[in-house]
Chains A and B, each alone.
Chain A
Amino acid sequence: MPDPVAPSAQPFSPASASDYLPGPQLRALQLSRLQATVARAYERVPLFRERCEQHGVTPAAIQGLDDLRHLPFTVKDDLRETYPFGLFASPREEIVRLHASSGTTGKPIVVAYTHDDLAVWSEVVARTLSACGVHPGDTVQNAFGYGLFTGGLGAHYGAERLGATVIPISGGNTERQMMVMRDLGVTTLCATPSYFLHLLERAHAAGLDWPNLPLRVGVFGAEPWTEAMRQRIERESGIRAYDIYGLSEIIGPGVGSECCAQQGLHIFEDHFYPEIIDPATGEPLPDGEEGELVLTTLSKQAMPMIRYRTRDITAIIPEPCDCGRTLRRIQRIGRRSDDMFIIRGINVFPAQVETALLAVEGTLPHYQITLARQGSLDQMEVAVEVTESVLSDTVGGMEALRKRLADALEHVIGLRVGVRLAEPQSLPRSEGKAKRVIDNREG
């Protein structure tokens, strides 16, 4: 006798997931979902309708995926200004979950989910874990924070949906994390990469024997990390470390994930449509070019996001992946367009400055960028703190260092900029995000 079961109760099968849809079929699915999402938002979200009217577009303008470019962007401030419920597209009684950002700067933002949204979320996180080599029957220690943050519950329901055993330990309490990892046969850890590095350091001291642990996979996200960090994690712990991508405004974790190839992150583009734009002009860029990632949700009900500007800088990798997934990939994200500034028509990121300083000195010194206007010309100066390893006892030695730094910066940025050597500990430091760029230009 067939049992009427909810779709989410059926066993999850990665092979039947939409990761492998042939291109034309995927594009057709995206277009029909996009048209439905735009119509829903237009009908139910006053801010979106107003913006469309200002732009002179209606949902009927969406005849193909390329027509997305005619629609207005959504930015984080839109969520703040309509706080708490202004962008909801479902009646309150259909909303079964709310999450919120911590709101360290100004108002927090609130995001909402219907039953179906939660089912989609679980599915994309299950596909994330599957792409990272996690299987039904694996034991997942979930050290993402549980609560208003989307990381903990997002990973939790995704792991259950996959058919893994979840240990909902949340973040913190390193001793207990290590005990659980050792005693409960944990094969997979979900955490921020920096927390895992902390665990790694503490575990060595506590005598935790990495090679003899069953831990095999690390699923790392919620903060940017580097390829160098991955190599250190994999070398010291013997696990495979995967980068995942997500943001609460779109759904939480589950927007994109690396696969066994570890060459970029597949976007689950049957649910989230990616575009890359020039952050200065807003114009879409072709696949392969670097710019700001813009995401449009294709199936979200409670809170559809149309052309949400993530501020994350990346490029779409159009080439097919070795793993066989047909989903397009993005490059690993290392910088944000918030940090970008323009000098004499050139887009500059602090990350580029860091690359140059690192190339000269071997380690990254503390630095600060100051922009000023002299006459009609913009000037950029990079102040770099002198450290013991680069200190010379001659003026000639220090001038040579200054020239090497200026040459390296010119090579990376394409512009000759001023370099000022500064005393150690003399540049301002701030909690968390250091204030790297001081813009003294007027207007």
Chain B
Amino acid sequence: MRFKDVFSIIGPDMIGPSSSHTAGAVRIGLAARQLFGRLPQRAELYLYGSFAETYQGHGTDVALAAGLLGWGTDNERIPEALAAAEELGVELVFIPSQGIVGIDDFDVRFSASFPTMVITHSDRVGMLAEITSCFSQNGVNIGSMDVDRRSRSGEALTVIEADSSFPEELVQAILEIKADLSIRILDLS
């Protein structure tokens, strides 16, 4: 089932005019901010397809800015987000473009609809088994998973979408697997 609950039909609570090009853009901005970890000083925003063609009319620009500022889809200040970003000294560049990039140039896909853990680690035998066993030991169910690596035995990026948020013990357990491993958490729920 693509739509899993009643609030994916009635909802979201949002600022118009478009679920995809406005509310969706706020969520993309929020996801980028959470992955980055803080408010960026400068961001280049690449717009693809219909986002490139109609972003101004849909307020996609202000919506992306609002997300980067950490605002939610229902924040009534969204129309003023570009001005607010400027006041905070954030430089935003909108670039109509083609093609899709992932995270840190890793080709990974995720929906940001669920609590999401982004793990950077080295690619070696058993790594994923250890990570997933931490999940099962902490009673967190994995909904979907995507992995990409730079090369065999090189750096890898694993994205895990879960059914519930991540307890601190789980994060700690995974961090203890290996010293060069790092975790970023994305949770828009």
Chains A and B bind each other = no
